[in-house]
């Protein structure tokens, strides 16, 4: 059949019913932009804030851990710290386990 109809006229550049490849590329680009703005960027911001919080811990700060334990920092040894939970109980945690620093006097108020 190819010798009756020239090949250039028989097959169009984009077959009818198939999506335009440029639209597909634009959709993937839009999806990546959406993922960056909604997921990657906020996660990096939270990670940066937590790193700053952990680096600025000091003896005497009242903190809450990821597990919900409230205490006062008694001693800091490198990547570990000793948390004074009560008068007789001291627990050792990694710095990264600290969730938040509380205002002074919070533990007494509870």
Is there a single domain that holds both residue 66 and residue 30?
no
Q: Is residue 22 part of a domain?
A: yes
pTM: 0.70
Is residue 92's pLDDT more than 80?
yes
CATH classification at residue 75: 2.30.30
Number of domains in the chain: 2
What is the helix (H) or strand (E) element at residue 99, kind and residue range?
Answer: strand 98-102
Mean of all residue pLDDT scores within the chain: 88
* Count of CB atoms situated within 10 Å of the CB of 69: 14
CA distance 65 to 99: 5
Confidence of residue 2 (pLDDT cuts 50, 70, 90): low
CA distance 94 to 66: 11
Is there a single domain that holds both residue 91 and residue 50?
no
- pLDDT at 16 (0 to 100): 66
- Which pair of tokens denotes residue 36? 């960056």
Domain that holds residue 50: 18-54
């Amino acid at each position: 059949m190819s010798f009756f109809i020239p090949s250039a006229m028989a097959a169009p550049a984009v077959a009818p019913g198939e999506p335009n490849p440029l639209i597909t590329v634009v959709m993937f680009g839009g999806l990546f932009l959406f993922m960056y703005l909604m997921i990657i960027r906020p996660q990096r911001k939270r990670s940066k804030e937590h790193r700053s919080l952990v680096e600025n811990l000091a003896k005497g700060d009242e903190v809450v851990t990821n597990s919900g334990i409230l205490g006062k920092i008694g001693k800091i040894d490198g990547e570990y710290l000793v948390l004074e939970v009560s008068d007789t109980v001291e627990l050792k945690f990694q710095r990264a386990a600290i969730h938040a620093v509380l205002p002074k006097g919070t533990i007494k108020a509870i």
